[in-house]
Amino acid sequence: MGRVAELAGVSVRTLHHYDEIGLAQPSARTSAGYRAYSAGDVERLREVLAFRRLGFGLREIADLVDDPHTDAVARLHRLRGLLLDQRDRAAAMVTAIDKELEARAMGVRTTSEERLHPLGARLYENIGSAYPATRRTEPRIAAQVWQALGDARTVLNVGAGTGSYEPPDRDVIAVEPSAVMRAQRPEGSAPCVAAAAERLPFPDRSFDAAMAFSTVHHWRDPVAGLREMRRVARRVVVFTHDATDAGWRDRFWLSRDYLPEVGHLVAGRPSVDQLARAFGARLEPVLIPWDCADGFFEAYWRRPEAYLEEPVRRAISVWTRVGPEAERRAVAALREDLSSGRWAERNRHLVDLDAAELGLRLLVA
């Protein structure tokens, strides 16, 4: 046990505690009869320690590593996604601190709010103020979402943002962790609770249905969030995108020709099939109309000039996540191709389409 503790960078006392509570127990025996860690025990301990260092509680970790619906490979993919998310947040913090150091070197004093922002900011805080301008309910997609809700009268909207796609003829409770988003919910909208998807503050089966629209990719642990939705509701409807197809990047010209960094954003995240299996969902394709009213990433597939507009990009999280250098390069290249006619020549097959299949999906359980 001492050798394992040394290799893992934890105390022997910690390993004894994990043993006592049944979280990570040595099951093998040495020739002298002492208990030892087998290869399987080490693999489990590795997962326990990784989740622990990501901030999960011991009870949560036990549920994760004992999950009968996942194997070691699936848990490694999940860990990788969580670690990449943590890395991205750390990188954003470093960038913000570098900007402050640069400002101070120039004799510019930052405000108290600016000093605290790198520590407390989340992605929605950075993009949320731009949402009202371009992120509105698209009626044709809303009809598909609301039909999937079936006869549900009480609905929980998780990651609700500013309230788009909340059905007006049902009793809705919203959940949204971002104060910026909550502040922009219109007067008369559904009551909104400050909470995260992974820990919904409601008893089991509190709602007829739970829905989540274009938000799962922002969650710290999508699988945990989806299972929480399943716990509190008898029906679950989730709008997300499918990035599992090997050729998915080629479906949309923006990620194919101008912003290949999008591929790095989904690397390590659970696939749409893994998400569906996590709560027993079926998949439904969602077509995007050419004049889509909701300005999400793929919405302007037949209106490329829109991506040249700063307000449009600021309301799409992808542009913030890829960083300013990639954004400047992509916008410059797109502007040049629109001016030269190269974009029109390359994408002439889109002109006569009324709707496009670009990998958007409803997960319904």
pLDDT, tens only, 139-150: 999 999 999 999
Q: What end-to-end distance do the CA atoms of the chain give, in Å?
A: 45
- Rounded (10°) angle between helices 58-65 and 72-105: 140
Pairing of strands 207-213, 233-241: parallel
Nearest to residue 274, comparing CAs of 70, 80, 60? 70
Distance CA 320, CA 118 (A): 15
Within 10 Å of residue 18's Cβ, how many Cβ atoms?
21
The position carrying tokens 């570098």 is: 98
Cα-flanking dihedrals φ and ψ of residue 35, to 5°?
-70, 145
pTM: 0.65
Q: What is the pLDDT of residue 132?
A: 55
Least confident of 96-100, 119-123, 209-213, 215-219: 119-123
Distance CA 290, CA 352 (A): 10
Q: What angle do CA 324, 329, 331 make, to 5 degrees?
A: 90
Q: Which position has the higher pLDDT, 72 or 326?
A: 326
Residue 239: pLDDT over 60: yes
Q: What is the pLDDT of residue 184?
A: 77
The two three-digit tokens of residue 245, written as one number: 């197809």
Question: Region 18-25: what's the mean pLDDT?
Answer: 91
Question: Region 83-87: what's the mean pLDDT?
Answer: 66
Question: Region 99-118: what's the mean pLDDT?
Answer: 68
Least confident of 73-82, 233-242, 266-275: 73-82
Q: What is the DSSP letter of 257?
A: I
Give 43: exposed, middle or buried? Use CB within 10 Å, 0-12, 13-18, 19+. middle
